[in-house]
């Protein structure tokens, strides 16, 4: 699998994404500067976390208009897999690859901790290596992770199996206390309709090796590697 | 068009307003041979401020040990550098931002983080971890909640955005900090040992380059503010607090590191306290050269700025670089890529003078060498702190709580309570190399990027000990840092010190400074633990009331493999719990005495540096040999609190058999040089044999098991109850402030 990680001014988890991809696939991904207008031939594009443009204006809003994003959208339209994590989720949402928006956390504070997630749909290259309903733990680290969309959109996401991950309590139950940021329907991550684009707030790339305390993120990258060989 | 610009003529009164004493002003007149211009006076005043010149502490700081085989660069540069093996170097420093954080907690703390990051990446290091040591006033004080909230969001707001993990530190509360909080921020970075960048300018004619943010009117005279006591009107000093932009800092890190990969740089320094003044004067001074700046070329955020304002601005995220001739375009391209300002603002000269030009006019022309070598140095009078009498045996009559209630109260007091509410606001994981935050282990452990080995990091100080006996307290702070590093299995390498005290012009306070430095020096020598960088913050007084003397120690150690490090959490049932070190039951200045009996008295525990070293080496070897499943140093609250913390962290209890009939001073005394370890039961005998061989006292405390702390008498203290109490205090305190 060949992958590219997009780097914006203010990206800061590109190193984590590169390390996770290299650890699992054995191939070092390309790092592509946001001002570039062309992408190498890749099977996966990762839009990493961080504070692109310092979160000025609105998280992800400025990066969504970077020159490279036109190319990212064109590739996504052709079915190239796109993974947006944290600020990357905010950016691809702002860029219109996914519906909805990410607002300030309900608690108004940045929050960094391990969270429990339920895998809601395994019918994608991102989630194929998980069991449906499996409870996994990834860390979150964000201030603006409160997913919002209007009721019709939420219904459509639910009906079409576009909800990828949902925040749950540590024991796997639907407990609002498991929702760290007030997201609608406790949504932590969503797919596009074709399940070729995934955006999520938690960080699978920081749950890949023993040092991270758990390796629940590894199957996501393994699933992509296996599907996109 | 050239704006009309004139400066006020300098008078002795104006000099006094700049914080210069009559003697100091006289010295300025001698150096200049004439009355200085206002810009020149401003430069003298900031360079001779306590903050920049260390004039009260210098004679004592020079007594600290600063050398060792592991030291690549000691004090005097932007940060300290130690050898980390395999061609790697660790660069680190701790620095205070106390005064600004009290006045404007968010920006004060944020720019504190930004400043210390710059000190570290200036030398060529990629920052890989931040820590911070915070001291707030009494929780009951009206301002404390607001200050905690602002400081924590400021640290998070800056550190999270630049993408450097904040991996821990310490947070204490005491009424002596009501009017002067302490915000001590530490950064640790990694560089190649043969690619360290220094600040001494070289090469006559070489271009002087300004990069980063534009210069505004913020922070003018910040260094002078940080060199005076507070009074009721301190709120009016808000305009002297700088405003930070972590996004620009992130770009500056990447741009500087990219430039450092080329051969373009001769010397580089950040513009921190006293901004363009200290960077230009220090760089030229260290190189024995002169420097001429054309201030018209300085990128400015505001119009109509005077030379005085430009030179004294403490606008953030700026660096001064001396380039090799002809490398300007290489450098410009890099900074333009990162969308940062880049300007050639002058050149080096052979005159030994600082010359400042603007609008075609000369605003300062002064010799550089005397600014540092004729800077005032004071041997201030001092008096030793009188020794405290031993605690009267009668204090125990005042203890009327059960063991369980005592422990609950200890683990839920402001100092000991979980600081989760704070550290969950910090991104502790970015980079993917965080093995432990401090709290999960006796020290934080962060792996070096793309390597196995790791750096262990700790910050320590027990101010109540230092107040009672500065010499012993100073030694204890160093010893505890050594212990925390050893507990995770790391080899302690070197120390950065952040000395926070009151007004040094008072002999009693000066005595605390002198004593603490003596104690630190003794400990650093005995433990082969040199001081490689540091910072001094004096005048932490409000209306004549000083803070507790707080010589905060930051320290780093090395681990050959991050995965060998051991945390505090009990992991298994059935492990044998051992106490390393001798328990005598020293109760003076203990947390128990203060929290349970309401008394702050007695001498602090004695520090036996030979025992510290021997016990530390013993524990470190056990950890590296894979014999230890959990490891914790014994400090605040004593033995039982250490065991409770290990149980709470792991969710595994302990059956304690080694304390039957023990006097409470054994349970809660704060004797030094001690550790609690858990080892697999089949290894316990071997460990004890090794201890006998090494001459290290080791006793069996009990066994890990169940979900409570139990004893032979059938008593049981629920871990869940302790954990709830431990976790509840800070969130309850912070939410109580929301009306």
User: pLDDT category, A171, cuts 50, 70, 90?
Assistant: confident
Is A51 within 8 Å of B339 when comparing Cβ atoms?
Answer: no
Residue to mutate among A51, A204, A209, A212, with most B CBs inside 10 A, is A51
User: What is the DSSP secondary structure assignment for residue B222, as one 8-state letter?
Assistant: H
User: pLDDT category, A229, cuts 50, 70, 90?
Assistant: confident
Residues B304 and A158: their CA atoms lie apart, in Å, by 59
CB A203, CB A217: distance < 8 Å: yes
- Average pLDDT of span B588-606: 96
* C-alpha to C-alpha distances, A226 to A25, A129, A208, B616, nearest whole angstrom: 9, 9, 16, 48
A15, closest residue in chain B (CA to CA): B431
User: pLDDT category, B438, cuts 50, 70, 90?
Assistant: confident
Could you identify the residue written with the tokens 């309401």? B598
- Average pLDDT of span B295-319: 94
pLDDT at B271: 92
CB B116, CB B162: distance < 8 Å: no
Is B161 within 8 Å of A211 when comparing Cβ atoms?
Answer: no
Mean pLDDT of chain B: 95
Q: How far is B193 from chain A (nearest CA, A)?
A: 22
Q: In chain A, which residues have their Cβ closer than 8 Å to the Cβ of B425?
A: 109-112
Q: How far is B452 from chain A (nearest CA, A)?
A: 10
Chain B CB within 8 Å of residue A55 CB: yes
Chain A CB within 8 Å of residue B541 CB: no
Is A206 within 8 Å of B432 when comparing Cβ atoms?
Answer: yes
How is A152-219 classified by DSSP, letter by letter?
Answer: HHHHHHHHTT-EEEEEE-TTS---GGG-SS--GGGEEEEE-TTS-EEEESS-GGGSSSGGGS--TTHH
Given a cut of 50, whether residue B1 has pLDDT beyond it is no
pLDDT at B739: 44
Segment holding B192, helix H or strand E: strand B182-192
Annotated catalytic residue within B97, B99, B221, B655: B97
B531 by DSSP, 3-state: which? strand
Annotated catalytic residue within A14, A34, A71, A86: A86
Given a cut of 70, whether residue A26 has pLDDT beyond it is yes
The strand pairing partners of B546, in sequence order, are B541
Chain A CB within 8 Å of residue B394 CB: no
User: pLDDT category, B548, cuts 50, 70, 90?
Assistant: very high
Is B250 within 8 Å of A10 when comparing Cβ atoms?
Answer: yes
Residues B500 and B133: their CA atoms lie apart, in Å, by 11
Tokens of residue B526, six digits: 């005995």
Chain B CB within 8 Å of residue A165 CB: no
Given a cut of 80, whether residue B241 has pLDDT beyond it is no
Q: Chain A 188-217, CB below 8 Å of chain B: which residues?
A: 203, 205-206, 208, 210-212
Active site residue A193: no
Residues A17 and A4: their CA atoms lie apart, in Å, by 10
Residue to mutate among B130, B429, B440, with most A CBs inside 10 A, is B429
Task: Name the residue among B126, B92, B162 with its Cα closest to residue B430.
Answer: B162
User: What is the DSSP secondary structure assignment for residue B383, as one 8-state letter?
Assistant: -
pLDDT at B235: 54
Task: For B193-281, list the strands marked E by DSSP.
Answer: 207-212, 265-270
Chain A CB within 8 Å of residue B133 CB: no
Radius of gyration of the CA atoms of chain B, in A? 26
ipTM higher than 0.90?
A: yes
* C-alpha to C-alpha distances, B547 to B140, B389, B464, nearest whole angstrom: 17, 22, 10
Residues A123 and B598: their CA atoms lie apart, in Å, by 62
Active site residue A112: no
A48, closest residue in chain B (CA to CA): B430
CB A128, CB A227: distance < 8 Å: yes
Is A112 within 8 Å of B429 when comparing Cβ atoms?
Answer: yes
∠ CA(B477), CA(B481), CA(B482), 5° rounding? 115
Radius of gyration of the CA atoms of chain A, in A? 16
What CA dihedral angle connects A149, A153, A156 and A162, to 10 degrees? Answer: -40
Q: In chain A, which residues have their Cβ closer than 8 Å to the Cβ of B153?
A: 109-110
Distance of CA B258 to the CA centre of its chain: 27
Task: Find the CB nearest B156 among A110, A210, A212.
Answer: A110
Q: How many CB pairs under 8 A join A and B?
A: 84
Condensed to tens digits (0 to 9), the pLDDT of residues B339-374 reads 999 999 999 999 999 999 999 999 999 999 999 889
Condensed to tens digits (0 to 9), the pLDDT of residues B328-345 reads 999 999 999 999 999 999
Active site residue A205: yes
Residue to mutate among B338, B427, B735, B738, with most A CBs inside 10 A, is B427
Ramachandran class of B163: left when φ > 0, alpha when ψ lies in -120 to 50, beta otherwise: left
Task: Name the residue among B621, B604, B641 with its Cα closest to residue B687.
Answer: B621
Q: In chain A, which residues have their Cβ closer than 8 Å to the Cβ of B163?
A: 11-13, 50-51
B319 by DSSP, 3-state: which? strand
CB A103, CB A156: distance < 8 Å: no
Cβ neighbours around A129 below 10 Å, total: 19
Task: Name the residue among B128, B245, B76, B106 with its Cα closest to residue B183.
Answer: B106
Confidence (pTM): 0.96
Tokens of residue A121, six digits: 């749909």
Condensed to tens digits (0 to 9), the pLDDT of residues B677-722 reads 999 999 999 999 999 999 999 999 999 999 999 998 888 999 999 9
Residues 6+ apart with CB under 8 A from B739: none
Given a cut of 80, whether residue B625 has pLDDT beyond it is yes
CB B66, CB B114: distance < 8 Å: no
Condensed to tens digits (0 to 9), the pLDDT of residues B25-42 reads 999 999 999 999 999 999
Could you identify the residue written with the tokens 């990834």? A138
pLDDT at B224: 61
Is A19 within 8 Å of B432 when comparing Cβ atoms?
Answer: yes
Residues 6+ apart with CB under 8 A from B11: none
What does the buried/exposed string (b/e) look like for B93-102 if buried means 16 or more CB atoms within 10 Å of the residue's CB? Answer: bbbbbbbbbb
Residues B594 and B600: their CA atoms lie apart, in Å, by 5
Residues B252 and B122: their CA atoms lie apart, in Å, by 10
Q: In chain B, which residues have their Cβ closer than 8 Å to the Cβ of A11?
A: 163
Is B250 within 8 Å of A112 when comparing Cβ atoms?
Answer: no
Task: Name the residue among B368, B373, B374 with its Cα closest to residue B281.
Answer: B368
Q: In chain B, which residues have their Cβ closer than 8 Å to the Cβ of A20?
A: 432
Is A205 within 8 Å of B432 when comparing Cβ atoms?
Answer: yes
B702 by DSSP, 3-state: which? strand
B544: buried, middle or exposed (CB in 10 Å: 19+, 13-18, 0-12)?
exposed
pLDDT at A141: 98
Annotated catalytic residue within B18, B51, B174, B632: B51
Task: Find the CB nearest B432 among A55, A210, A212.
Answer: A212
Angle of helix B470-488 versus helix B609-624 axis, rounded to 10: 10
Task: Find the CB nearest B247 among A54, A112, A139.
Answer: A54
- Average pLDDT of span B459-465: 98
Residues B729 and B734: their CA atoms lie apart, in Å, by 9
Annotated catalytic residue within A71, A94, A120, A205: A205
Chain B CB within 8 Å of residue A109 CB: yes
- Average pLDDT of span B282-289: 96
Residues B268 and B284: their CA atoms lie apart, in Å, by 11
Residues B572 and B600: their CA atoms lie apart, in Å, by 38
Chain B CB within 8 Å of residue A134 CB: no
User: What is the DSSP secondary structure assignment for residue A43, as one 8-state letter?
Assistant: S
The strand pairing partners of A46, in sequence order, are A5, A83
The strand pairing partners of A84, in sequence order, are A47, A199
A35, closest residue in chain B (CA to CA): B337
Tokens of residue B202, six digits: 């070289």
Phi, psi of B114 (to 5 degrees): -60, -40
Residues B720 and A136: their CA atoms lie apart, in Å, by 24
Q: In chain B, which residues have their Cβ closer than 8 Å to the Cβ of A53?
A: 247
CB B271, CB B285: distance < 8 Å: no
């Amino acid at each position: 699998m060949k992958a590219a990680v997009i780097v914006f001014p203010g990206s800061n988890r590109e190193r984590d994404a590169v390390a996770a991809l290299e650890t699992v696939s054995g191939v070092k991904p390309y790092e592509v500067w946001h001002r570039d207008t062309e992408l190498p031939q890749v099977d996966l594009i990762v839009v990493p976390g961080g504070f692109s443009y310092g979160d000025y204006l609105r998280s992800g809003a400025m990066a969504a208009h970077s020159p490279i994003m036109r190319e990212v959208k064109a590739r996504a339209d052709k079915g190239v897999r796109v993974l947006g994590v944290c600020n990357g989720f905010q950016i691809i949402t702002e860029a219109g690859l996914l519906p909805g928006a990410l607002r300030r956390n309900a608690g108004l504070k940045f929050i960094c901790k391990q969270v429990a997630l339920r895998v809601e749909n395994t019918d994608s290259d991102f989630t194929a290596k998980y069991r449906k309903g499996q409870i996994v733990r990834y860390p979150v680290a964000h201030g603006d992770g409160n997913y919002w969309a209007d009721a019709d959109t939420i219904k459509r996401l639910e009906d079409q199996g576009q909800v990828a991950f949902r925040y749950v309590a540590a024991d796997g139950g639907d407990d609002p206390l498991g929702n760290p940021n007030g997201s609608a329907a406790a949504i932590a991550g969503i797919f596009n309709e074709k399940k070729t684009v995934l955006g999520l707030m938690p960080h699978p790339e920081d749950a890949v090796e023993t040092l991270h305390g758990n390796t629940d993120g590894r199957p996501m990258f393994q699933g992509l590697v296996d599907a996109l060989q | 068009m050239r704006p009309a610009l004139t400066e006020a003529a300098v008078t002795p009164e104006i000099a006094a307003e700049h914080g210069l004493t009559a003697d100091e002003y006289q010295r300025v007149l001698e150096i200049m041979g004439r009355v200085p211009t206002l810009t020149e006076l401003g430069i003298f005043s900031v360079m001779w401020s306590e903050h920049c010149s260390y004039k009260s502490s210098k004679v004592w700081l020079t007594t600290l040990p600063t050398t060792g085989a592991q030291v690549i660069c000691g004090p005097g540069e932007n940060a300290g550098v130690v050898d980390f093996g395999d061609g790697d170097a660790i660069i680190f420093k701790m620095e205070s931002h106390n005064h600004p954080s009290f006045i404007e907690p968010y920006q004060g703390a944020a720019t504190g983080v930004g400043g210390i990051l710059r000190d570290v990446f200036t030398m060529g290091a990629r920052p890989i971890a931040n820590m911070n040591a915070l001291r707030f006033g009494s929780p009951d004080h009206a301002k404390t909640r607001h200050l905690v909230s602002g400081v924590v969001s400021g640290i998070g707001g800056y550190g999270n955005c630049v993408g450097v993990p904040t991996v821990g530190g310490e947070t204490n509360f005491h009424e002596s900090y009501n009017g002067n909080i302490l915000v001590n921020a530490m950064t640790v970075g990694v560089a190649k040992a043969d690619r360290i960048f220094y600040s001494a300018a070289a090469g006559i004619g070489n271009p002087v380059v300004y990069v980063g943010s534009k210069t505004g009117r913020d922070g003018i005279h910040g260094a002078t503010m940080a060199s005076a006591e507070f009074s009721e009107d301190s709120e009016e000093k808000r305009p002297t607090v700088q405003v930070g932009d972590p996004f620009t800092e992130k770009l500056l890190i990447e741009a500087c590191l990219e430039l450092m990969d080329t051969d373009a740089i001769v010397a580089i320094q950040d513009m921190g306290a006293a901004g363009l003044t200290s960077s230009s004067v220090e760089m030229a001074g260290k190189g024995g050269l002169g420097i001429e700046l054309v201030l018209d070329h300085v990128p400015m955020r505001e119009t109509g700025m005077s030379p005085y304002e430009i030179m004294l601005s403490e606008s953030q995220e700026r660096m001064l670089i001396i380039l090799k001739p002809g490398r300007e375009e290489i450098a410009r391209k890099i900074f333009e890529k990162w969308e940062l300002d880049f300007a050639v603002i002058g050149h080096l000269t052979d005159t030994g003078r600082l010359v400042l030009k603007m609008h075609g006019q000369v605003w300062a022309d002064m010799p550089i060498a005397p600014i540092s070598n004729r800077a005032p140095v004071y041997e201030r009078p001092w008096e030793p702190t009188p020794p405290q009498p031993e605690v009267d045996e009668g204090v125990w009559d005042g203890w009327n709580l059960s063991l369980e209630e005592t422990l609950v109260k200890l683990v839920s007091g402001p100092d000991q309570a979980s600081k989760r509410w704070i550290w969950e606001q910090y991104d502790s994981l970015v980079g993917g190399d965080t093995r432990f935050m401090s709290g999960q282990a006796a020290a934080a452990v962060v792996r070096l990027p793309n390597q196995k080995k790791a750096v262990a990091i700790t910050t320590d100080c027990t101010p109540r000990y230092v107040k009672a006996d500065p010499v012993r307290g100073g030694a204890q702070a160093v010893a505890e840092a050594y212990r925390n590093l050893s507990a995770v299995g790391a080899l302690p390498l070197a120390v950065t010190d952040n000395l926070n005290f009151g007004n040094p012009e008072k002999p009693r306070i000066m005595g605390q400074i002198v004593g603490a430095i003596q104690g630190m020096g003794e400990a650093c020598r005995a433990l082969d633990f040199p001081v490689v960088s540091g910072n001094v913050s004096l005048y932490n007084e409000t209306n004549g009331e000083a803070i507790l003397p707080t010589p905060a120690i930051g320290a780093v150690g090395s681990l050959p493999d991050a995965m060998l490090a051991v945390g505090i959490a009990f992991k298994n049932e059935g492990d044998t719990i051992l106490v390393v070190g001798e328990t005598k039951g020293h109760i003076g200045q203990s947390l128990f005495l203060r929290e349970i009996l309401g008394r702050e008295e007695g001498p602090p525990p004695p520090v036996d540096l030979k025992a510290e070293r021997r016990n530390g080496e013993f524990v470190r070897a056990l950890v590296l040999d894979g014999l230890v499943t959990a490891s914790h140093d014994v400090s605040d609250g004593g033995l039982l609190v250490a065991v409770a913390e290990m149980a709470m962290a792991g969710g595994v209890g302990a059956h304690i058999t080694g304390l039957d009939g023990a006097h409470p001073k054994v349970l809660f005394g704060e004797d030094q040089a001690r550790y609690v370890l858990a080892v697999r039961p089949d290894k316990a005998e071997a460990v004890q044999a090794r201890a006998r061989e090494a001459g290290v006292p080791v006793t069996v405390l009990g066994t890990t098991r169940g979900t409570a702390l139990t004893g032979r008498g059938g008593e049981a203290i629920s871990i869940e109850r302790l954990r709830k109490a431990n976790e509840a205090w800070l969130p309850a305190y912070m939410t109580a402030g929301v009306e």
